Copies of this chain bind each other. A is one copy, B any other.
Amino acid sequence: MRKFNFCAGPAALPQPVLEQAQRELLDWQGLGCSVMEVSHRSPEFVEVAERAEQDLRDLLSVPSNYKVLFLQGGATGQFSAVPWNLLGAGSSKAEFIHSGSWAAKAIKEARRYGEVNVVASSEDRNFSYAPAADSWQSSGDAAYFHYTPNETIGGVEFGYVPEVECPLVADMSSTILSQPIEVEKFGVIYAGAQKNIGPSGIAVALIRDDLLDRSLENIPRSLSWKVAAEAGSMDNTPPTFAWYLSGLVFQWLKGQGGVDAMAKQADAKSKMLYDFLDSSDFFSSPVEEGSRSRMNVPFVLADDRLDKQFLIESEEAGLLSLKGHRSVGGMRASLYNAVPMEAVEALVAFMADFEARKA
C-alpha cells in the first residue's frame, strides 16, 4: 500500500507515472526490451528525449533562445559548472545571496574559481528569512549573480526575483515546476531532478544561448554546457531511465493543468500546514512569515524530547520521512507536486491528535 511521502528528496513521484513505468518495465513500446535496454541514439529513445524537452519547454514557456539540457551530477555538479562556464569572459567576479545551506555550497565552490561577493546574507538570524530586495545592491559588473530561490533545508523561499544587470543564475532544485516563472529574467536556471522532476541522477539546466561561450579555459568536458548543448545532452550516454521518467512526469503535469495548477495546489497545501502551525502552541515554524517555503516546511515541537516519539508515530500513521535534515534537526514536510492535498490533511490531522495527546 502506498503511503504519504514527505521526503525532501529523492521525493515522492506521481503514482500514475510509477504505474506506467511498472507496466512497461520489461517490454517498452512492444519493442521486446526495457526502455533501460535501448540505445540512447535509437529513434525510440531520441523521441522520448525530444518530447521531454518539448514538454518542459511548454510547461515553463521557455523562450527559443534558451537551451534545455539534461545533465548528470545533480545540482551539486552545477555548483562547479556555473563558475567554470561563466567566469571566462571578462569579469572573474560573481555575486551571491547567501540564504542557507545550499547557497553556502554554491558559494564555496565558486570561490575556488573566482572572486565571490556576498551581497546579502541572512546568517544574522540563522537563515530564517530571505533578504529583502531593497536590502542589498548588485555592483553591476559581475560575471553573474547567483541565488537560491528556495532553501530546501531551511525552508526559506524568496518572494521575488532579483533585478540585476548581469546574468541571473538560480538553483531552482526544489521549486522548479511548482509555479510559472519568467524564464527571460534568468541567464541560467538549474535544478536537480529528485524533487519536482523525476528520480535522482539527472539534472536540468536552462541556459540563455549567449552564455555558452564564456567558459574558463580547460573546463572539464563533462561540465561544459556548450559541449552538452551541441550534443543534445548526449555527449556521452545519458541516464536514460531517469530522462524517460522525467518525461512521464512532465506529461502528468500537463494533464494536471501545468504549473498554474501546481502553484494553486502548492499555495493551498502549504497554507493549510502553516495555518495549523501558527494556531498551535505545541508546533511552530522557525521561518519568518513572508519567507516561508511552499515546498519545504520545517517545524519544531515545543518539547524536542518528543521528536523521536513523533517520528515513530507519524510513520506508523503512514506519514513518511518527516525527519528534518541532519544539519538542523526538528521536522520537515516537503510538499512537492506529487504530494496530494490529502497527504497534508492527514498530516495536520495527525499533528492535531499528537498535540492533543502529548501537549
Contacts and interface: CB of A to CB of B under 8 A. Distances in A.
Contacts of A76: 221-222, 235-237
A1 B18 contact: no
Contacts of A8: 39
B9 A34 contact: no
B2 A32 contact: yes
Contacts of A199: 36, 239-241
Q: Is the interface of A mostly helix, strand, loop or mixed?
A: loop
A26 B32 contact: no
A90 interface: no
B25 A37 contact: no
A194 interface: yes
A235 B318 CA distance: 29
B33 A2 contact: yes
A318 to B, nearest CB: 7
A223 B239 CA distance: 18
A32 B3 contact: yes
A10 B3 CA distance: 33
Interface string A1-43: 1110101111111010011011001110001111011111110
Contact of A200 (B15, B25, B40): B40
Given A201-B241, A222-B77, A223-B220, A7 B321 contact: no
Given A12-B33, A72-B77, A2 B27 contact: yes
Interface in A212-260: 218, 220-223, 235-242, 245
Interface of A: 1-3, 5, 7-13, 15, 18-19, 21-22, 25-27, 31-34, 36-42, 72-77, 79-80, 84, 109, 112-113, 192, 194, 199-202, 218, 220-223, 235-242, 245, 318, 320-321, 326
